[in-house]
């Protein structure tokens, strides 16, 4: 298949490109390279790989990039609460308007459209019940608000010939060619290994988690099965305190600073039954990711894991 991956140089995108190339697809990565392009270096000389630098806000450019594709995997987004707050108009233009336009382009050319959304759309769940794809969405950030609006507009244009797939990813973790240490689990491991200190807000708050490699696996499975509709994609629901317990197994003398006065408003547990019914079983658990990230940090793989190069925004 001839596949376009927007945001192809990113934390998830660089893994998705590798998976699809490994499975024999022709892959075009489209990225503005705002966060760099090192994640694609190992793919550069592969004959089935193409890179195009561009901005998804450029309608003419995206039209040219999309026009010969059979599948469009739309990962490009402005992410992170602080970054979105600082760039409100960019967040609107990238996360909502560009998504709406690319989805319409996919429909016009008859391409399969896969949109990366987020489980943070659920925001908070009462009494710790599991939320599923039909649960009420309660966004607590501009990022989630724009993702929900984009989801709604994509679903509005669905018909018998255009059946988009919306993937609500759990909180991602794990090593990636374009590494990020501003994701919850990754950040906790970095701080534990490099500083022997972890600051925790809302230790009892629940979050769903999924390894970045398993995200790539699910996308490939979705293509093979021609899935459509909305899917939660994840593996484990953990409290922040559960992550700390795992870290203490690696670093028994770890200094844990739990701030009781400041509560993390996001608190939700997610049901992944729909994905399981499609045969998707995650390969990795958070404990696996913790160990591998810790090993990479201890080995000196990252010269400065606190560098801005490993953050989005």
Residue-number span of the structural domain to which 229 is assigned: 2-171+209-233
Q: Let me know if residue 278 belongs to a domain.
A: no
Residue range 208-257, pLDDT digits in tens: 999 999 999 999 999 999 999 999 999 999 999 999 999 999 999 999 99
> Which has the closest alpha carbon to 65: 114, 6, 107?
6
List, for residues 34-74, the tens digit of each pLDDT value.
Answer: 999 999 999 999 999 999 999 999 999 999 999 999 999 99
- Same domain, yes or no: 166 and 64: yes
For residues 84 and 97, membership in a common domain is answered with yes
Q: Do 17 and 156 sit in the same domain of this protein?
A: yes
CATH number of the domain bearing residue 288: 3.90.25.10
7 shares its domain with 84: yes
pLDDT at 261: 66
pLDDT tens across 2-45, in order? 999 999 999 999 999 999 999 999 999 999 999 999 999 999 99
Q: How confident is the model at residue 82 (pLDDT cuts 50, 70, 90)?
A: confident
pLDDT number for residue 32: 96
Domain shared by 114 and 13, yes or no: yes
Q: Count how many domains the chain has.
A: 2
Same domain, 184 and 138: no
Do 300 and 228 share a structural domain? no
- Residue 18 included in any domain: yes
Residue 126 lies in a domain: yes
Q: Give the angle 126-202-136 at the CA atoms, nearest 5°.
A: 25
Q: What pLDDT, on a 0 to 100 scale, did the predictor assign at position 260?
A: 74
What is the average pLDDT value for the chain, to the nearest integer?
95
CATH classification of the domain holding 110: 3.40.50.720
Are 302 and 190 members of one domain? yes
The answer to whether residues 112 and 8 belong to one domain is yes
Report d(CA 213, CA 284) in Å as an integer: 8
Q: Is residue 139 part of a domain?
A: yes
Residues 158 and 198 both lie in one domain: no
Whether 272 is covered by a domain: the verdict is no
Claim to verify: residue 243 and residue 254 sit in the same structural domain: yes
Condensed to tens digits (0 to 9), the pLDDT of residues 265-285 reads 788 999 999 999 999 999 999
**How many angstroms separate the CA atoms of 18 and 137, rounded?**
32
Query: Out of 143, 173, 213, 268, which one is annotated catalytic?
Result: 143
**Whole-number Å distance between alpha carbons of 177 and 26:** 19
Give the per-residue pLDDT at 265: 75
Confirm whether 173 is a catalytic residue: no
Same domain, 221 and 302: no
């Amino acid at each position: 298949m001839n596949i376009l991956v927007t945001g192809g140089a990113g934390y998830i995108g660089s893994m998705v490109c590798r998976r699809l190339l490994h499975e024999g697809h022709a892959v075009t990565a489209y990225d503005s390279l705002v966060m760099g392009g090192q994640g694609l270096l190992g793919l550069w000389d592969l004959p089935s790989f193409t890179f195009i630098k561009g901005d998804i806000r450029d309608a003419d450019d995206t039209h040219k990039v999309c026009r010969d594709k059979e599948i469009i995997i739309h990962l490009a987004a402005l992410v992170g609460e602080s970054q979105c707050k600082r760039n409100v108009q960019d967040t609107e233009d990238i996360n909502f308007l560009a998504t709406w336009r690319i989805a319409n382009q996919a429909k016009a050319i008859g391409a399969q459209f896969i949109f990366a959304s987020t489980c943070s759309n659920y925001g908070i769940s009462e009494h710790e019940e599991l939320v599923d794809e039909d649960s009420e969405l309660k966004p607590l950030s501009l990022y989630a608000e724009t993702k929900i609006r984009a989801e709604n507009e994509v679903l509005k244009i669905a018909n018998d010939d255009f059946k988009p797939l919306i993937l609500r990813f759990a909180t991602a973790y794990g090593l990636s060619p374009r590494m990020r240490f501003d994701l919850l689990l990754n950040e906790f491991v970095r701080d534990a290994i490099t500083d022997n200190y972890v600051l925790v807000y809302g230790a009892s708050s629940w979050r769903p988690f999924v390894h970045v490699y398993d995200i790539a696996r699910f996308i490939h499975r979705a293509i093979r099965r021609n899935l459509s509709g909305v899917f939660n994609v994840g593996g484990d629901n953990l409290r922040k305190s559960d992550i700390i317990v795992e870290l203490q197994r690696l670093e028994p003398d770890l200094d844990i600073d739990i701030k009781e006065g400041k509560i993390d408003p996001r608190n939700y547990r997610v049901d992944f039954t729909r994905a399981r019914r499609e045969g998707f079983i995650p390969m990795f658990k958070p404990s696996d990711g913790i160990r591998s990230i810790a090993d990479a940090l201890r080995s000196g793989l990252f010269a400065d894991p606190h560098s801005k190069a490993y953050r989005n925004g």
